[in-house]
Each structure stands twice: as structure tokens, then as C-alpha cells.
Structure 1
């Protein structure tokens, strides 16, 4: 028996030959959905991999800045609420410049103080333009210790 040429997507347990066109159609049925959790906010949502045109992510029209930002992240699928927030955050970030000197930092905007230490905000990380891989508290790039190898 030949292997399914769609084996990446194939989960059908079928007795028909795997190279059969009916098997292909069965594997690509429009009811293939995945229950996922947004890696940004932990909200559950349904990813409609079998019907991408009906997926919740297509309800959000991402800006070019948001697309560029997301291409630099470690995120898998995001919920539509987080995608809308990323659209807003990237638009907001475009109004500011990355502080290159200490005098340019604005408390409450780029950082806040906690126990005498500076804690950088999400806006600061977004303005920096890349993930440093240090597992920052407000990392906007979706970095965690589990994907450290990817940096």
C-alpha cells in the first residue's frame, strides 16, 4: 500500500489505498479543526485548518507593520483579539522612536521601576525590533525557555 501524498495532513484511518483520490478528498475534508490556546493570552479558539477561509484569523486584516512584526515572533496561531491588539500596538509603536540614549527613556512608556530595577515595557521591546532571548517579562515576541534553541 502506498503512503498518502498528503501524509502531513492525513489522519484518516482508511482501508482504501492511500494514493486513492477519494482518500485525498476525505483527508482534506472541510471539517478538520483544531482546538488551540492563544500563546499570548491563553484564550481558547478553534483553528479551522480544513477551511482556512472560515477561520477566525481571517476576520482580522493585518497591517503591513503587524505582518512584519509577526514574522519576527515565535508565535503559532493567535486568537483574533490578540491579532487586533498587535495591529493597534504596531500602529502605536510607529509614533515613537527606540531610545538610544538614557535621556530618551520615558518612565511609564519604555520602562517602569520595580524594586530599584528597570522593567522594560512591551512597547520598548517592540521598538527594539527583535527578541534578545533573555526570557523578558514583557516579551512581545513570544519567547520562552522552551524555544531558546531557535534564537
Structure 2
């Protein structure tokens, strides 16, 4: 365990804490889906830039999904998590959670509720 380090975002130059805590809590970035190969990353990004980068990468992937390919998608193979991330898994509309296509793809099948962003239509 290395502890938290102060880093500078390679995108916006904001300083932020990066790493696991001495008490055993994992770094905040572990809440995000594992989308990046460490060898292709420039360096750590701050939480805001990392979230945007993840969202952009997910949107790029979603644009390739059709109802025919949705059932056999890579997102369904990601480790399951109970932690939902606003802007990636859902957004709020009039106080209601609206689940995005990525949330549905991670589940791996249609729930049958007629969700707005269901990729399995």
C-alpha cells in the first residue's frame, strides 16, 4: 500500500489526491469501470477529467452498439458494482434517475420496462 499521493492532472493541471488510503480504502478511480489500459494512459487524471474521459470513451463504444450486437457486448463482462456514477450510469431529470445505455449494457439484458435508453430494443 503506497498511500495517497498529491498529483497534478495531466489534462487540466489541477492537483488532487491519488492512491489507496492507509486505512485500506481504495483510490476513488476504482469506482469507475476499468476502461483504460495503464500503458496507454499519459498519467493520472483528476476526478473531473477522468470522469469526462470515461464518459467520452463509453459514448464512443455505445455508438457502435446495435440492438443485434447489444446482447453480446463487452460491457456485460465488466466486474459488477453497486456504485453508480452520475453521468456514466445515469443522469437526473426532474429529480428522477434516467439510466443510460451503458448501465443497461452492463446488466446484460433488457429488463422489459421500456427504458428510454435501452440498447436492446
TM-score by length of 2: 0.39
Q: Find the structure with the greater CA-based Rg.
A: 1
